[in-house]
Amino acid sequence: MSLRQNAVIDDDAGELTLDARGNPQLRSAAFYVANQATGEVLLEKNSSTVLPIASITKLMTAMVVLDAGLGLNDELAISDADIDTLKGTGSRLVLGTRLTREEMLRLALMSSENRAASALARHYPGGERAFVEAMNVKARLLGAWDTRYYDSTGLNPANVSSPRDLAKVVSAAATYPLIREFSTTSERFVDIGGRTLRFANTNSLVRSPDWEIAVSKTGYISEAGRCLVMQAWMHHQPVVIVLMDSNGRYTRTADAQRVRKWIDTHAVPHVATAAARRDS
């Protein structure tokens, strides 16, 4: 269920306003921001509330694929089983498209390609059922007790988590070099059926010189609203940002901008001091 009330579509590109406690006023219905190095929680709201996570799911999909040690150069084919019959979303990966497992993984993380994520699960030992079971086992191992997975794409609204849990998932994903690389790639040109197609990252912030982003994933289905998770480096410290159930196309990005501005202008001691302690 959505937590939004009287939501306003956000077009202010992250204008920073503070509440009575000096915290930034964010438009996301649930969020969690923490210094990953120290564990200090910088901001949170509804951080234990369990909500649909949409394509944030694909971070776990990527970890399960990489944990299995499957051949990244193996070719996978898009089939009828990868068509989205739940939400009716489209894809430029037409039936019969053959790409390496590595390319499927890149497109799933970078441009949130649902058919790529589906194909990755189907080509797992034991098939999709075994893959989803492995996703849930991995969540338990990470201590993400609020998290449940029912598919590899996030199209199923039964895929749920809490902001606190997603911070654990992002922190774990940041330990995988390929997830860091693929989730922050700004664009990729891929040969599909004899045509070269451009795929872009769904998070525009990865193209901004103002940001140093190590892990990124966006998500959207109607039940989840617009979601964004990142690990971003600020003042030489890794900061995990989880923004869930945002209304309006640009709200999650504007909220991320607010968080960065707030840290730069009001919360520097919480990250810069930690960096100084680490380096001393």
DSSP string, 197-257: EEEE-S-GGGG-TT--EEEEEEEEETTTEEEEEEEEEETTEEEEEEEEEE-STTHHHHHHH
| Catalytic-labelled residue, pool 28, 47, 55, 111 | 55
CA distance 30 to 11: 19
- CATH number of the domain where residue 135 is located: 3.40.710.10
Residue 250 lies in a domain: yes
Residue 177 lies in a domain: yes
Q: Determine the angle formed by the axes of helices 114-122 and 57-67, rounding to 10 degrees.
A: 30
Residue 135 lies in a domain: yes
CA distance 193 to 98: 9
CA distance 184 to 201: 7
**Best CA proximity match to 28, nearest among 39, 42, 41, 14:** 14
b/e per residue 195-231 (b: at least 16 CB within 10 A): eeeebebbbebbeeeebebbbbbbbbbebbbbbbbbb
Residue 19 lies in a domain: no
**Best CA proximity match to 238, nearest among 193, 174, 189:** 174
Q: What is the domain range of residue 56?
A: 30-279
Q: Is 45 annotated as a binding residue?
A: no
- The pLDDT score that the predictor gives to residue 13 is 60
- The pLDDT score that the predictor gives to residue 3 is 58
Within its chain, how far is the Cα of 259 from the centroid?
Answer: 17
Q: Work out the number of other CB atoms within 10 angstroms of the CB of residue 274.
A: 18
Q: What does the mean pLDDT of the chain come to?
A: 92
Q: Which letter does DSSP use for residue 81 in this model?
A: G
Mean pLDDT of 16-27: 88
Residue 1 lies in a domain: no
Q: Is 246 a catalytic residue?
A: no
Where helices occur in 71-111 by DSSP H, the ranges are 101-110
Threshold 0.85, pTM exceeds: yes
- The pLDDT score that the predictor gives to residue 29 is 97
Report yes or no: 199 and 192 within 8 Å, Cβ to Cβ: no
Q: Note the pLDDT tens digit of each residue in 228-275.
A: 999 999 999 999 999 999 988 899 999 999 999 999 988 776 665 554
- The pLDDT score that the predictor gives to residue 188 is 97
Residue 24 lies in a domain: no
Residue 20 lies in a domain: no
Residue 116 lies in a domain: yes
Token pair for 179? 């997830």
| Catalytic-labelled residue, pool 28, 112, 216, 246 | 112
- The pLDDT score that the predictor gives to residue 1 is 44
- The number of domains in the chain is 1
Q: Is 58 a catalytic residue?
A: yes
- The pLDDT score that the predictor gives to residue 166 is 98
Q: Note the pLDDT tens digit of each residue in 33-88.
A: 999 999 999 999 999 999 999 999 999 999 999 999 999 999 999 999 999 999 99
Q: Is 183 a catalytic residue?
A: no
**Side chain identity at residue 68, one-letter code:** A
DSSP string, 158-206: T-EE-HHHHHHHHHHHTT-HHHHHHHH--EEEEEETTEEEEEE-S-GGG
CA distance 188 to 91: 15
**Best CA proximity match to 204, nearest among 253, 162, 242, 264:** 253
